Amino acid sequence: MKFRKGNQTPAAELAPPRPEVAELAPRIWQVIDDAPVVTAVTHKDADGDTLGSALALALALEPIGKSVPVLSSPPVPGAWWFLPGFERVNRQAPPRGTPVFIFDASDASRAGAFEPVVTQARVVVNVDHHVSNTRFATLNLVLTDAASTGELVYDLLKAWKIDIPPGAASNLYATILSDTGGFRHENTSAHALRAAAELVQLGADPVMLARGLFKSRPASSLRMQGRILQGLHYEFGDRLVWGSISQSELRDSGATTDQADSAIDQLNTLRDQELAILFKEAGPRVTKVSIRSRDRIDAAELAARFGGGGHKRAAGMELALPLKEAEARVLAEVRGRMNDLE
């Protein structure tokens, strides 16, 4: 193995990688050791975790002579423009036969337009933290106790003992910041906070990243959120809150479907709320659904009932139904579960 030596920060100051990552790291290195090109694939409707993981790998491997094309199924949400290296996404088509990493994706279909890149690759490395991961790859680095997939990428880079440049550190910090909802969700573990602190030590810029993530919304996004909030429905004594946004409402507010993604987090600020659901009309017969749960309902399991997936507290799915039908179908199931909680 040709591991590079010497992090910018003495290794003694950094926590060792998780044992599970340290154990698999040499085998993962083996598949990329002789490869001049390593492809990094994100999941579709890319979020900060999948993009930050892919970009961190690219920015860490390029200084040691590897070319790392980053592929993300279009349209790539422009909201992530502030991640270092974002401009390289989809700029370079990988040659055939390169090893492929896929990040934060529970199965190959999550790669969207780039699914063939994953399914036709000779070697695939699947790095993820979803409970729903199907372990579809050649090598599966799947640990569900990680706050973000990026946390696992960080452990992997540590295990490989390669330098982590500031741009890679920023991307990895962004994966934790976004997947913990700004250190607010249940996955805000000591491990995640320690990793975040170390990444700042390594040059991640927490102010720039918080600004990019939480203070960079276009006015259209706030206008759209206003629409959603105005039309919310409260049921079961405010323990179920749900809302929706149609294509025409999106058009009127000047916002795009991917901008609606952050609105669910506003619904999730309600006191005593048990379940928050947001329906987004993505097309005449396509409805995207986001779910957030507080204590008693498993959002991932609920989403799985409709072919989706995610985490216990945050999940989603895409239904091949018009908006109103999707609402009726999901709410029937949800109301049943809310009744069971009584």
Give the interface with Mn ion as residue ranges (CB under 5 A).
Answer: 49, 104, 149, 179
Inter-residue contact 46 to 120 (CB < 8 Å): no
d(CA 123, CA 105): 16
Q: Cβ closer to Mn ion: 149 or 293? A: 149
Q: Cβ closer to Mn ion: 149 or 259? A: 149
Q: State the burial class of residue 66 (Cβ atoms within 10 Å of its Cβ: 0-12, 13-18, 19+).
A: middle
Inter-residue contact 243 to 278 (CB < 8 Å): yes
Give the shortest CB-309-to-Mn ion separation in angstroms: 11
Find the residue with minimal CB distance to Mn ion: 49
Q: What is the DSSP string of 284-309?
A: TTEEEEEEEE-SSS-HHHHHHTTT-E
Q: Cβ closer to Mn ion: 48 or 84? A: 48
Give the shortest CB-129-to-Mn ion separation in angstroms: 6
Question: Which one, of 227, 242, 230, lies nearest residue 330 by Cα?
Answer: 242
SS percent in the chain: helix, strand, coil, step 5: 45, 15, 40
How large is the C-alpha radius of gyration of the chain?
20
Q: Cβ closer to Mn ion: 100 or 143? A: 143
Give the shortest CB-104-to-Mn ion separation in angstroms: 4
Give the shortest CB-229-to-Mn ion separation in angstroms: 26
Q: Cβ closer to Mn ion: 98 or 149? A: 149
d(CA 16, CA 61): 20
d(CA 180, CA 322): 31
Q: Cβ closer to Mn ion: 50 or 253? A: 50
Give the shortest CB-148-to-Mn ion separation in angstroms: 5
Give the shortest CB-167-to-Mn ion separation in angstroms: 20
